[in-house]
Chain A
Amino acid sequence: MRPRYAAALVARREIVERIRDRSLLISTAVTLAILAAILLIPPLIGIGGTKTYKVAVAGPQAKQLARAAQRDAKAFDAKIEIVRVADERAVRKAVDAEKADAGLSGDARAIVVRKKLDDKLGNALQEGSRQLRLQAQPPPPLPVHTLLASDNSDDLQTITFVAVLLLYFQLVGYGYWLASGIVEEKASRIVEVLLATIRARELLAGKIVGIGIVGFMQLLVIGVGATALGVATDQVNLTGDTARAVGVVLAWFVLGYAFYACLFAVAGALVPRQEDIQNTTTPLSIVLFGSFMLSFAAIDDPGGGRATALTFIPPTAPMIAPVRLIAGEMPVEQIVVSVAVLLAGTAALVAIAARMYSNAVLRTGTRVKLLEAWRSAQS
């Protein structure tokens, strides 16, 4: 009797054996520890936590507002120091010279900042304003006047950076793991016993899916764990941004892994020993690393032409599209096209990889050349 779901059996083995492997536990713990360090160390060394802000004021109304904000500031982890200056011009001058973090205009109807308004300070000032004007009439929120042009908030950029970093390491790590798993079967010659029982395609599909599921689960644990840690220590606000980033990373890991796994599988099938695996996986690592580098530019300008173009190229899409998605700079039709192009590329690669894998995987003696793997008669 032939097993009905041979690929599922193969996938199950991969999952069980890899979860048992201590290195998975260690790598998850290390990643979480690094993220925890990023979250927890800054407040310990004085970054984050309660922060003191200088607010430049001119005139009685501005001073009154600053006083009100001073009273409420503690609720926002902020402390406000009032810097009195002569007039409105002096307020702007102080802010521009970074002698004050923000300034209040003479009539206390606007906040002046140099580049962008800090969240804590902004909240404190807005609250002060609200308290002050509550008796009169519900006031509209104060408009923020930015002196220098700026786009994204720092927090979102940090989230994006961490997200892309995780995604990159997960794609490289699991691609490499897949390739070395295939080489292990070649080097130990077990592949011949396996192929006497099940088809090469079933073996390949089972390995890709099984290792992919492990990668996905690890990423889920890291994503949820890091978010929970951040929320518990008040370092991350569980906003839509954070949740979206976790979702985007998970979804694009699946898409990106499917694409790159086909390539890594062929890279593994071509070489006879673990020592040779670098030869064939290095080009793939370079492509992934290049995409990772390009994603930095995309963080600064997620809506730009270059980032947009790179979203539609299968090898770079898994690194660039998440950046634009987290930034909220990717219209629905672009998402659809990007995913469709990547899926089409993956479908083509699956067919190519299955053929080359089947041809090369039994040739355990020497390195198989790419063209040979493509050409040699179907066995």
Chain B
Amino acid sequence: MLEIDAISRRYGSVVALERLSFAVEDGSICGFVGPNGAGKTTAMRIILGVLAADDGEVRWDGGRIDGATRARFGYMPEERGLYPKMRVADQLEYFARLHGVPRGDAAAAAQRWIERMGLTERARDRVEALSLGNQQRVQLAAALVHEPVALILDEPFSGLDPIGVDVMSEVLRERAGAGVPVLFSSHQLELVERLCDSVAILKAGRLVAFGPVAELRSRGGRGAWRVVVNVNGDGTDWIARVPGARVLQADARGLLVALEDGADEQALLDAARAAGRVWHFAREEPTLRSCSRG
């Protein structure tokens, strides 16, 4: 189990992380969610030891993480990196060896992942000669080639084509199935909902929510009402006449309105009808999006 215990980090006067705590169980996938600049990358760098925390610690199976343990983690940073002029097979073998895999096993593991990623034909090519999609596959293979005991991936789905997204999802599920804790960050919340067992939501360096996906959803309340109403002017003033109603969002898709417990959605509909023509009136299931909106 990977435990993040009250880690804090400042850059000068800017607080990047403030006592962040959560844990990823063995065999579970945890989504790491939050707006840009919330501190996700900083937290992941601290887990990998690339950055030091000012305070707090990261534990693995209850103990402090040392270099030997970290070498068994798999990491894919947000800004991908490979040696452009190195051949695919050599590169994967090199990474396996850096992670402590003995020489013969490293070559075999590199070969296995090359086949798995469908890159057999390109094994002797330099990385720079590969298409972007294939480079992404090599990157993923580089993070996995040493059979990591934990996987930490920063935005693994960004820039992937639909097939790449499927391959990545499959690999993450498979690793979790093998008992490995997986933590990945993403802005694609639908993907996170689909893949993850738990979610950690970060905002301005603080954890605002953490728990199983289903639980977080229900905590989002009864959901909100989406109303599309054709009003003269851009008025949302009529909402003020509905007791317990509050506008969450107003955009081209209409209004998203939250109702307090006990407030009557029929009153909302009546007020909307009084204001103009109603084209759409429906309840939206709570999603991670609505949770992370708070």
State the A residues within 8 Å of B (CB).
1-3, 6, 9-10, 13, 16-17, 21, 184-185, 188-199, 362, 364, 377-379
Measured between beta carbons, the chain A residues less than 8 angstroms from B280 are none
Given contacts A2-B100, A3-B100, A195-B50, contact A189 B71 (CB under 8 A): no
Residues B72 and A1 in contact, CB atoms below 8 Å apart: yes
Name B83's closest neighbour in chain A (CB-CB): A190
Which of B61-93 touch A at CB < 8 Å? 67-68, 70-73, 75-77, 79-86, 90
- The docked-state distance in angstroms from the alpha carbon of A264 to that of B276 is 72
Q: How far is it, in angstroms, between the C-alpha of A124 and the C-alpha of B85 when the chains are bound?
A: 59
Number of B positions contacting A (CB below 8 A): 33
Task: Assess whether A9 is in contact with B50, with CB atoms less than 8 Å apart.
Answer: no
Q: Choose one: B49, B52, B82, B94; the contact of A9 (CB below 8 Å).
A: B94
Contact partner of B81 among A9, A21, A191, CB < 8 A?
A191
Minimum CB–CB distance for B98 against chain A, Å: 5
Q: Which residues of chain A come closer than 8 Å to B97, judged between CB atoms?
A: 3, 9
* Least distance between A188 CB and chain B CB atoms (Å): 5
Cα separation A3 to B143 with both chains bound (whole Å): 16
Q: Are B72 and A193 neighbours in the complex by a CB distance under 8 Å?
A: no
Given contacts A21-B85, A184-B84, A197-B98, 17 further A-B contacts (CB under 8 A): A1-B71, A2-B100, A3-B97, A3-B98, A13-B94, A188-B83, A189-B81, A190-B82, A190-B83, A192-B81, A193-B77, A193-B81, A195-B50, A196-B75, A196-B77, A197-B70, A364-B79
Query: Is the pair B48, A196 in contact by a Cβ cutoff of 8 Å?
Result: yes
Neighbour of A2 across the interface among B45, B68, B81, CB < 8 A: B68
Is chain B's binding surface mostly helix, strand, loop or mixed?
A: loop
User: Contact partner of A196 among B50, B80, B82, B90, CB < 8 A?
Assistant: B50
Residue of B nearest to A197 (CB): B98
- In the bound assembly, the distance between CA atoms of A1 and B68 in angstroms comes to 5
Q: How far is the CB of A237 from chain B (nearest CB, A)?
A: 43
29 pairs across A/B with beta carbons < 8 Å?
A1-B68, A1-B71, A2-B67, A3-B99, A13-B94, A17-B85, A21-B85, A185-B83, A188-B81, A188-B82, A188-B83, A189-B77, A189-B81, A190-B81, A193-B76, A193-B77, A195-B50, A196-B49, A196-B50, A196-B70, A196-B73, A196-B77, A197-B71, A197-B75, A198-B98, A199-B67, A362-B50, A364-B79, A379-B51
Is residue B142 contacting chain A, with contact meaning CB distance below 8 A?
yes
| B139 nearest in chain A by CB position | A193
Choose among B51, B68, B70, B75 the residue that contacts A193 (Cβ–Cβ < 8 A).
Answer: B75
B229 CB, nearest partner CB in chain A, Å: 47
Counting from the closest, the 3 A-B pairs by CB-CB distance are A190-B81, A189-B81, A1-B100
List chain A residues, Cβ under 8 A from B98: 3, 6, 9-10, 194, 197-198
Chain A proximity of B260: nearest CB distance (Å) = 46
List, in ascending order, chain A residues with CB within 8 A of B90's CB: 16-17
List chain B residues, Cβ under 8 A from A362. Answer: 50-51
B101 cross-chain contacts in A, Cβ below 8 A? 1
Q: How far is the CA of A13 from the CA of B83 in the complex (A)?
A: 11
- Shortest C-beta distance, A206 to chain B (Å), equals 10
**In the complex, chain B residues 31-76 whose Cβ is within 8 Å of any chain A Cβ:** 45, 48-52, 67-68, 70-73, 75-76
Q: How far is the CA of A198 from the CA of B70 in the complex (A)?
A: 9
Shortest A322–chain B CB gap in Å is 34
CA distance A301 to B207 in the complex (A): 72
Contacts of B72 in A (CB 8 A): 1
Given the complex of chains A and B, what is the CA–CA distance between A379 and B9 in angstroms?
11
Q: How far is the CA of A185 from the CA of B84 in the complex (A)?
A: 10
Task: For the complex, give the distance between the alpha carbons of A195 and B67 in Å.
Answer: 11
Closest residue of chain A to B127 (Cβ to Cβ) is A188
A197 touches B84 (CB 8 A): no
Kindly report which residue of chain B lies nearest to residue A21, judged by CB atoms. Answer: B85
A3 touches B52 (CB 8 A): no
Which chain A positions have C-beta within 8 A of B75?
193, 196-197
Chain B residues lying within 8 Å of A199, measured Cβ to Cβ, are 67
Chain A residues with CB under 8 Å of B95's CB are 193, 197
Cα A67 to Cα B67 with chains together (Å):
83
Q: How far is the CA of A364 from the CA of B45 in the complex (A)?
A: 14
| Nearest CB of B to A187, in Å | 9
CB distance from B117 to the nearest CB of A (A): 17
Which residue on A lies nearest to B52, using beta carbons?
Answer: A379
Chain A proximity of B221: nearest CB distance (Å): 39
Compute how far the CA of A188 lies from the CA of B85 in the bound complex, rounded to whole angstroms. 11
